Structure 1
Amino acid sequence: MIPGRYVLYVCLVLVGALLACGCASAPGEVVTGTVVHVDIEGGFYGIIGVDGTKYLPLNLDPAFAVDGMRVRFTYVPEDLATIQMWGAPITVTWIEEAAGEGAPESLSDGTWELASLRNATGTEIRVLAGTRITAEFGEDGSMAGSGGCNHYGTEYAAGGEGLSGDLSLGPVYATEMYCISPEGVMEQESIYLGMLSSVRTFRIEGGILRLSDGDGRILLIFLKV
């Protein structure tokens, strides 16, 4: 056996040994996201990536089942249907807490994307697939974003110490486009914009922003993106 082939043979043996013992790196890129508790189908934990992608981990370690925890993880996608009908099913292959990584320090720290809203009875309503509702709070007291179809804006006044406090929003203006897809997008936008006038307080925990009314009922839940 010539030296070149011998070296190749040794390398193949070593790689095979690594794979056999499970020492090879887990496939897939590292994803950063926020763990969220979803109040449907009895309640479960999911992860929403910084790009808004929803992941449904089938094997989430209980130590990471903490609403608002910032995590970094790798995964393998699973091609199956789940009763939750939320997010993409995955098997987590590696995970760690990413506390403080990109954690917002105030309302004006970046863009917020709506994850869910709650109606008058307190029932959580998920944002329609294929739509994005966003909010950006400027340091000049302006608030703007997308309602899922139209762009909107208003003014706000916040009190407190950065991560929680009183919040009041002024009259909302919006463009007047009409979107037909996906079905229900205009109704969703109307509900969202209408709820803004009821907001009285805010609280930021991890990468989650919760806006509540004067009675402390959570109306809107956003994720930092």
Structure 2
Amino acid sequence: MKRASSVIAAIAALLGAAACAQTPAAGDHPPIVGAWDVTAIDGAAVPADVTATVAFAEDGQVSGVGGCNRYGGRYSYAGGVVTVSELFATKMACMEPNKMDVETKFHQRFTGDLKVALASGGALTLGADAGSLVLRPAAQ
């Protein structure tokens, strides 16, 4: 019971801190805002039985599923670069090897400064020297 109270208190503190964060001015939102499905990591397709998502909110929050666990954090966008920071994630151990493999690779790539490339077909590539993620707009 004590642990549950601590977890709830930690979540409440994170939400409170996020609520106090400065939000961008109206009409000043980066082109990455929205919900995305991760379709490839380092050029390899994400298996059809694995879901990996990214949602960039207008207020600078990012969240989604890394393949197995839910995650959240902050991002900023300037000059064609998105900086992902303060990431936290649940700690479920998925028994399916595909999910854990995607989870590990996703979190290795989805951190720090990532160059943004928007393709005319709607794909979004987030890349760094270590590798890249390819995202497609999520189905509504």
TM-score by length of 1: 0.45
Determine if the alignment matches structure 1 residue 185 to structure 2 residue 99: yes
CA–CA separation in structure 2 for the residues paired with 1:158 and 1:221 = 17
Residue 117 of structure 1, aligned match among 41, 54, 63? 41
CA–CA separation in structure 1 for the residues paired with 2:92 and 2:70 = 9
- For structure 1, which segment, 188-197 or 138-147, has the greater mean C-alpha deviation from structure 2 after superposition? 188-197
Preserved CA contact (<8 Å) 1:145 1:153: yes
**For residues 47-67 of structure 1, what are the alpha-carbon distances to aligned partners after superposition, in whole Å with 9 as ceiling and x for unaligned?**
xxxxxxxxxxxxxxxxxxxxx
Number of equivalences = 108
CA–CA separation in structure 1 for the residues paired with 2:131 and 2:116 = 9
CA–CA separation in structure 2 for the residues paired with 1:221 and 1:199 = 15
TM-superposed CA distance for 1:171, in Å, is: 3.1
**Higher relative helix content:** 2
Preserved CA contact (<8 Å) 1:135 1:145: yes
**For residues 101-129 of structure 1, what are the alpha-carbon distances to aligned partners after superposition, in whole Å with 9 as ceiling and x for unaligned?**
xxxx8111x311011011xxxxx221122
CA–CA separation in structure 2 for the residues paired with 1:170 and 1:198 = 6
Preserved CA contact (<8 Å) 1:153 1:173: yes
Residue 169 of structure 1, aligned match among 84, 89, 105? 84
Which structure has the higher relative contact order (CA within 8 Å, separation 6+)?
Answer: 2
Q: 5+ unaligned residues in a row in structure 1: which ranges?
A: 1-104, 119-123
Q: Larger Rg: 1 or 2?
A: 1
Match of 1:128 in 2: 47
Residue 117 of structure 2, aligned match among 172, 179, 203? 203
CA–CA separation in structure 2 for the residues paired with 1:198 and 1:170 = 6
Match of 1:224 in 2: 137
Preserved CA contact (<8 Å) 2:85 2:112: no
Aligned Cα root-mean-square deviation (Å): 1.8
Preserved CA contact (<8 Å) 2:51 2:65: yes
Determine if the alignment matches structure 1 residue 107 to structure 2 residue 32: yes
TM-superposed CA distance for 1:197, in Å, is: 2.0
